[in-house]
Amino acid sequence: MDTNRRGTWLPTWSLKEDGVIAPDERLPWGQTIVVGVQHVGAMFGATALAPIIMGFDPNVAIFFSGIGTLIFFLMVGGRVPSYLGSSFSFIAVVIAATAYTGSGPNPNIADALGGIIAAGLLYAVIGVVVILAGTRWIGLLMPPVITGAVVAVIGLNLAGLAVKSISATGFDTVVGLVTIVTVGLIAVYAEGLVRRLPILLGGVAGYVAYFVGANMFGLAKPISFAAIESAAWFGLPNFVSPTFTTHAIGLIAPVALILAAENLGHIKAIGIMTGRNLDADIGRAFLGDAIATVVSASGGGTGVTTYAENMGVMAVNRIYSTLVFVVAGVFAILLGMSPKFGAVILTIPGPVIGGLSVVVYGMIAATAGRIWVENNVDFSDARNLITVAVVLTAGAGDLTLHLAGFTLGGIGSATFGAIILYYLLGRKERSGDLGGMKAKAQSIGVGDF
């Protein structure tokens, strides 16, 4: 479908009460609010975990994830449904730049913030270049075989974290399976509003299962509510001002390349899920993500990126209305300003988050199959087969490259590797192949050569 703005920056959302909800459609406001809250729940585990690993304040990160989501919404003119959460791409370089020991608050967080701001500024430059240069080249650079591989890697790269979360003990596995099965049953058999909340209700079921087994029967470490009792209902986050050092900037700024690669894959996947060609919005999406990262780091938050978890939620409930993410952004800001509510969310047991992650990450990876099928990708072609085989293995195994002090994680390595390998294996087209290539290019909105 057309994503042109027709003279206005923001679309006019039409009301729709059932079926697939497109980006420029909306549910009744009550359902919109509930679904928006579900998206906050989907991102919460990872968005809280990333800052904890780096020694940042998770409440600050959540607060700025909400602000970043609203910035992104405005930059893309409300056309791209997406949530911005804490990026895991920064973890390794932030720890290296700050010599963080992994326990308690990071004493050198200010230096890390300066480096994250530098990454955001470099990312903004990339976004401006894409806006000025146009997007026709993106379809040529990223044909369906590569796009599908990158989307699959986004899900598979995170699979280890999800499985680990439900594999520590037999009890953890049971709780994870209860969560997974509940999500599936609700998504398949429930009706009305309930059917649109499989992730949220699956999480509730898993939480109850864990509470019964751990707190009532002693099968695992019980959930502690002490932090909730001591936390204040309302309070501003603990903002931190950045400082700028060449050491931190040199290590962290190149992460902008990874963010661009991740975001490109995410936008491509969202385009497939929504049935819309979003290539025209990629530059603005880059710029929105970049500005959100700079704003976040200016106050003590992490770098942000479009979130795979929320893409998975959309894949499950088929609600792509961008207004849902306005609600999610506002709700995240309120959470960041409520230590007590944040403490409640942080009591969610690891196996529950792991169970939800198994479903969400799997849905993302499965989207790759849809890309390949709908674009008639030919896996009898050795070039396609080898490219996908290598990239999936490298991405799922989290192949990390260390180049002159710069670390490129699994998703970034797989993305750039897919492009390089595909064209390295390029061959002279046989008679008749050009027509097929044109058809595939046109199917992803590239147009005539």
For the record, the structure tokens of 252 come out as: 């962290």
Q: With residue 415 as reference, give the H or E element that holds it.
A: helix 410-424
- What are 77-91's pLDDT values in tens digits? 888 888 998 887 787
Q: Nearest 5°: phi and psi at 407?
A: -105, 125
Could you give the CA distance from residue 249 to residue 185 in angstroms, rounded to a whole number? Answer: 48
Helices 29-54 and 91-98, packing angle to 10 deg: 40
Could you give the CA distance from residue 55 to residue 288 in angstroms, rounded to a whole number? Answer: 26
408 beta partners = 401
Q: Which alpha helices (H) appear in 166-281, and where do they start and end?
A: 170-189, 192-195, 198-211, 226-230, 246-252, 255-274
Inform me whether the pLDDT recorded for 15 exceeds 70. Answer: yes
Q: Nearest 5°: phi and psi at 220?
A: -160, 180
User: What is the rounded (10 degree) CA torsion for 291, 292, 294, 296?
Assistant: 160
Q: With residue 215 as reference, give the H or E element that holds it.
A: none
Tell me, what's the pLDDT at 136? Answer: 65
Tell me, what's the pLDDT at 385? Answer: 93
Q: What is the distance in angstroms between the CA of the first residue and the CA of the last residue of the chain?
A: 21
Q: Which alpha helices (H) appear in 318-349, and where do they start and end?
A: 323-336, 339-345
- Model confidence band, residue 285 (pLDDT cutoffs 50, 70, 90): very high
Task: Please tell me what DSSP assigns to residue 305.
Answer: E
Task: List, as own/partner pairs, every contact residues 173-178 make where C-beta atoms lie below 8 angstroms and the sequence separation is at least 24, other chains included.
Answer: 173/351, 174/209, 174/213, 175/206, 175/209, 175/210, 175/213, 175/349, 175/351, 175/352, 175/355, 176/206, 176/351, 176/352, 176/354, 176/355, 176/358, 177/355, 178/205, 178/206, 178/209, 178/355
Tell me, what's the pLDDT at 347? Answer: 80
- Model confidence band, residue 28 (pLDDT cutoffs 50, 70, 90): confident
Could you give the CA distance from residue 154 to residue 142 in angstroms, rounded to a whole number? Answer: 15
For the record, the structure tokens of 374 come out as: 């709908």
Tell me, what's the pLDDT at 1? Answer: 38
- Model confidence band, residue 342 (pLDDT cutoffs 50, 70, 90): low
For the record, the structure tokens of 231 come out as: 């936390």
For the record, the structure tokens of 431 come out as: 């008679």
Closest CA to 82 of 348, 362, 273, 342: 273
Residues 6+ apart with CB under 8 A from 68: 84, 289, 292, 293, 295, 296, 304, 329
Q: How many CA atoms lie within 13 A of 145 on its CB side?
A: 25
Task: Please tell me what DSSP assigns to residue 449.
Answer: -
Closest CA to 388 of 102, 195, 145, 164: 145
Report the mean per-residue pLDDT for the chain. 80
pTM of the entire predicted model: 0.67
44 beta partners = none
Tell me, what's the pLDDT at 404? Answer: 62
Tell me, what's the pLDDT at 409? Answer: 63
Mean pLDDT along residues 377-385: 90
Which of 36-40, 142-146, 162-166, 424-428 is the least confident region? 424-428
Mean pLDDT: which of 44-48, 106-110, 306-310 is highest? 106-110
Tell me, what's the pLDDT at 2? Answer: 41
Q: With residue 21 as reference, give the H or E element that holds it.
A: none
Q: Radius of gyration of the chain from Cα atoms?
A: 21
Tell me, what's the pLDDT at 55? Answer: 79
Cβ–Cβ < 8 Å for 63, 301:
yes
- What are 96-150's pLDDT values in tens digits? 778 777 666 788 899 899 999 999 999 999 899 889 887 666 667 778 888 788 7
- Model confidence band, residue 405 (pLDDT cutoffs 50, 70, 90): low
Cβ–Cβ < 8 Å for 361, 176:
no
Mean pLDDT along residues 258-272: 78
Closest CA to 162 of 305, 49, 318, 38: 49
Could you give the CA distance from residue 120 to residue 322 in angstroms, rounded to a whole number? Answer: 24
